[in-house]
Chain A
Amino acid sequence: MNGSRKKFFQHDNIGYLFVLPALIFMVALIGYPIISNFILSFQDVTAMTMNAANKDFVGFDNYIKLLNDEVLIKSIFNTILFTVACIIVQFVIGFALALFFNKKFTFAKPIRGLMMVSWMVPITITALMYKFMFSTNVGGVINYMLQSLHIIDAPIDWLTSPVSAFVALVIANIWIGIPFNMILLSTGLTTLPKDVYESSSIDGGANKIQQFFKITLPMLRPTIEAVLILGLIYTFKVFDLVYVMTKGGPSNSTQVLSTYSYKLSFDLFKFSEGATVANILFIILFVVSLLYITGTRKGGCLRWKTQKYYTIKAKPAQIE
């Protein structure tokens, strides 16, 4: 027995022993909760039955019930709209800023570092800050500025009317997301080889715009994919921002999946329904991240494309 154990943990298998403690911890505090969350979603557990020994097993009732729930449909729609809006805007602005700060000037690095602050501020605090700035009457500095610039005539009820509350949330989230996009894209930009740019401008006579679309974008593609997927995952599970700024209101117009799950579990004490919504969110994210991970592993075709471009561009055939 002892001998066989010794044999098993020879060579590389000893790695198991090093991983084991962390794995046990993670299984206990992440793996078990995920499984019990699925079990919970098939039961009918509320605050009343939480400590009962036998919980009713109801099968897919919770899922069927929630898929007919208008609020859930609305929150799925909101989550997707919120994610898409945030990602597009923060990616474009973040990319522009990354290109800007990639230029060599004295303040480039310090100011870029300073911009990271908005990402480092705890999200709850950002949310409180924007809640205060978006307030309608008392000290609402955004309304004041828009009015003094004559963009709007009357103050907007930012957080109390459905559409503008959504816009306010998107703005606040973009403010957090821009530095994140910017820093990842600028690290990607610094790794691009300089000689490709030189050869394209000398041999191919490419101008800056051509260089951007034909060299920067294709070669940056892995970074761009990573940034977009990470942004998608972080934005899709947004919680604190929405919870603090609007609590999903007014009348569920800004309800997203995670806040709805929280509301069901901890405000209405319908633990099973909350777990069901969380599972729906989990499944969506799980599929997305699995696709991403397997996609980056294969990744060959993307690299091949850029390399092909590289070799074509590097050919001296384009000299006039």
Chain B
Amino acid sequence: MENTKILHNKSKTSSNRVRKFKLSPMQKNIIMCFLSVGIAAIFLFPLYWIVVTSLKAEPEVFQNPPTFIPETLNFKSYTEQLSGDFNMFQSFKNSFVIATSTMLLCVVLAVPASYGIGRYRFKGRSLFLLIFLLTQMLPASVILTPLFIIFNNLGLLNTQIAVILADATIGIPFSILVLMNFFASIPKELEDSARIDGCNRFTAFLRVFLPIAYPGGYCLCNILFLICLGRLSIRYDIYSRSNSKANYCWYIQFYGSIWYIMELFNCICNSHHSAGTGYFYNYAKVYN
């Protein structure tokens, strides 16, 4: 009896002592929130700087010392994009066509392949996987020169087809690696029951597995589209830009708007206006 009392007292005093140093969960939460906002603010300062720069008038951009808030808001660089040399809509059309067709090509080739690898245990399966994994790790400069020569021989240089084919080489292994696990997770019994109901292996794939894989495939399409747009944006001298209205995912919208702003910044600084270099040449330049 006494013992428990002492223990009780002891724990009370110790918890009292601790309470002096400990903050309440609420206070802790607030401090952490402020801290995280601070970290994000420092980390994302470059992006803020670029948005602010795009809104400054030209003399203010190169002013020393720099101003952190624009003295006068200037939307000239934005309106300039809608007309004249940097016609946004043409380049948007290009990037949209290329991103969409790359996405379609990747999906058409990668969905059956990932189904095959994920669902069937055939010989050499792990070798195929290894090959697809290794292509993910390939430095682009390895295939750059040969692709340049191949496309030159085929007369595909400076066409959109060359870009689509080259972009798809990145998209296909990626899609297979993503979708493979998805197909592997679908229960095998589904196929058995489909076959009992009169499907062969291909119709089972088309009528049963494809509809089930729809959400995964849809998600993958979005990611691929994003990747393709990103790759295109990298080819900054062909002025391909994204129009956020036409994209269908919020993150692509977000992405597109940043990209858009950056392109504007690019135009303000007037540094990279070497138009006329072909698609593939640009592709080659920044493919990595």
Contacts and interface: CB of A to CB of B under 8 A. Distances in A.
Contact of A289 (B121, B134, B173): B134
A130 B259 CA distance: 15
A103 B28 CA distance: 11
A33 B150 contact: yes
A18 B66 CA distance: 59
Contacts of A132: 50, 53, 265, 269
Contacts of A25: 109, 168-169, 172
Interface residues of B, number: 89
A100 interface: yes
Interface stretch (B1-9, B82-90, B140-148, B214-222): B140-148
B116 A17 contact: yes
A212 interface: no
B276 interface: no
B283 to A, nearest CB: 11
A123 interface: yes
Main secondary structure of the interface of A (DSSP, over half): helix
A40 B113 CA distance: 31
A22 B109 contact: yes
Given A115-B44, A139-B66, A238-B288, A106 B141 contact: no
Interface in B107-154: 109-110, 112-113, 115-117, 119-123, 125, 128, 130-135, 137-150, 152
Contacts, number: 258
Contact of B120 (A12, A32, A36): A12
B116 A15 contact: yes
Interface stretch (B12-20, B33-41, B71-79): B33-41
B284 interface: yes
Contacts of B150: 32-33, 36
Given A17-B116, A21-B113, A40-B146, A261 B236 contact: no
A286 B46 contact: no
Interface residues of A, number: 84
B46 A15 contact: no
B44 A285 contact: no
Contacts of B255: 120
A297 to B, nearest CB: 9
B212 interface: no
Nearest to B235: A124
Given A15-B120, A129-B46, A237 B139 contact: yes
Interface in A124-183: 124-126, 128-130, 132-133, 137-141, 144, 148, 175, 178
Interface in A236-290: 236-240, 243-244, 257-258, 261-262, 265-266, 271, 274-275, 277-279, 281-282, 285-286, 289-290
Nearest to A279: B142
Interface in A2-55: 11-19, 21-23, 25-26, 29-30, 32-34, 36-37, 40, 50
Contacts of A209: none
A58 B272 CA distance: 39
A111 B61 contact: no
A240 B262 contact: no
B47 A121 contact: yes
A148 B142 CA distance: 45
B172 A258 contact: no
Contacts of B120: 11-15, 18
A138 B132 CA distance: 46
B112 A21 contact: yes
A122 interface: yes
B230 interface: yes
A267 to B, nearest CB: 10
A163 B33 CA distance: 38
A302 interface: no
Contacts of B194: none
A18 B112 contact: yes
Contact of A128 (B109, B125, B145, B265): B265
A228 interface: no
Interface string B44-82: 101101100100000001111110000000000000000
Nearest to A178: B43
A50 B153 CA distance: 10
18 contacts: A12-B121, A25-B109, A26-B132, A26-B169, A30-B135, A34-B146, A100-B35, A100-B36, A106-B29, A107-B33, A118-B46, A125-B262, A128-B265, A140-B66, A262-B144, A265-B141, A281-B141, A282-B139
Given A33-B143, A97-B39, A281-B139, 6 more contacts: A19-B112, A40-B146, A126-B46, A128-B266, A132-B50, A132-B265
Interface of A: 11-19, 21-23, 25-26, 29-30, 32-34, 36-37, 40, 50, 97, 100-101, 103, 105-108, 111, 114-115, 117-118, 120-126, 128-130, 132-133, 137-141, 144, 148, 175, 178, 233, 236-240, 243-244, 257-258, 261-262, 265-266, 271, 274-275, 277-279, 281-282, 285-286, 289-290, 293
